[in-house]
Structure 1
Amino acid sequence: MKNKNVLFMTQAAMIAAIYVVLTVVFAPLSFGEIQIRLAEALTILPVFTPAAIPGLFIGCLIGNILGGAILPDIIFGSIATLLGASFTYLLRGHGKFMAPIPPILSNILIVPFVLRYGYGIGLPIPFMMLTVGAGEILSCGVLGLILYAALHKYKNTIFKTTAVSN
């Protein structure tokens, strides 16, 4: 039991660290009304381990802070990632193509409002839903599924705690 908790916390911490690094290194792409946050590809990881849920949330929170985001973005952007990761975990048995949908939808529904009311960006919210959605489709959908394909064959060795067959 103790080893499982250590493994869970280690996986969560590693996922958070990778998310932060990807967000900060690619900051020019990670923020704004047209954004492709490469770190969002990691939102596929709850398919492999529940440790990805807190890892992604904490990683997004820290990444937003270090990236210079304002408080509403830090809070609601991180909540969008938490919701996306949680629902990806719940859909883990429904096929790999379902996994990217929750983070895409949560970001489409939350981030444009942060951009409008937090940052004061005057673009129409439906337009920002399209731009944020396009970035999420690229990062979660395309890159996330590439990451899934790369990790799927190693799921039983990398993610020992909760390997799921898809």
Structure 2
Amino acid sequence: MKMKMTTQRIVKTAAIAAIYVALTLAFAFMSYGNIQFRLSEVMTLFAFFDPFYIPGLTLGCLIANLLGPNGILDAVVGTIATLISVILIALTGVKMRQSRVGIWIASIWPTLINAVMIGIMLNKLFELPLALTMLEVGIGEFVVITLAGVPLFKFLMKKHAILFDKLIKEKR
């Protein structure tokens, strides 16, 4: 699927990236490290509804990690982890958007990908215990995206369907 690059698309991509960065930095005290609850990660669920959000989310993660305390390694590894996660979320959305459990399944991808990739990175950077670090990162992702994010998205879809549709569905 080829997407036409328009000014509106560029602005929306930049806005998504900016919101991701702002949320990450506003809650920096809990956005970095082995025990992290990065609230901006809830936004990765946008990719379930439209792959249009992948570049903005990836760019937002890159900028947030460049500005974070863990250096260039976090910018590279964290951004790759987010990119893989949102691609898998989008693919799950394509296959399971109409399923009642589709968004729940999609929400697990960032937990698995970040637990492994960020867990290994933090182990290498700070010599933290690998298994424990992977578990801690995974729990943070699971709490933010699956336990908080999915119910939030379901609430918005049900109670604010018109607003949700305008927000989520990108016009091509």
Higher relative CO (Cα under 8 Å, sequence separation at least 6) belongs to: 1
Partner of 1:108: 115
Measured in 2, the distance between the counterparts of 1:45 and 1:82 equals: 13
| Cα deviations by residue, 1:93-119 (Å, 9 ceiling, x for unpaired) | 4222112111111101100111011x2
Partner of 1:134: 139
The normalised TM-score by structure 2 is 0.84
Runs of 4+ in 1 over 4 A off after TM superposition: 1-4
Contact 1:23 1:67 in 2 (8 A): no
Task: Choose the corresponding residue for 1:148, options 144, 153, 159.
Answer: 153
Is the alpha carbon distance of 1:55 and 1:150 closer, same or farther for their aligned partners in structure 2, counting shifts above 3 Å?
A: farther
Question: Which structure 1 segments of 5+ residues have no match?
Answer: none
Measured in 2, the distance between the counterparts of 1:65 and 1:38 equals: 17
Contact 2:52 2:170 in 1 (8 A): no
Q: How many pairs are equivalent?
A: 161
Measured in 1, the distance between the counterparts of 2:68 and 2:90 equals: 27
State the AA in 2 paired with 1:116. Answer: N
- Bigger share in helix: 2
The Cα of 1:139 is off from its aligned counterpart by 1.2
Percent sequence identity over aligned pairs: 36
Q: What value does the CA root-mean-square deviation take over the aligned residues?
A: 2.3
Contact 1:34 1:131 in 2 (8 A): yes
Question: Which structure 2 segments of 5+ residues have no match?
Answer: 97-101
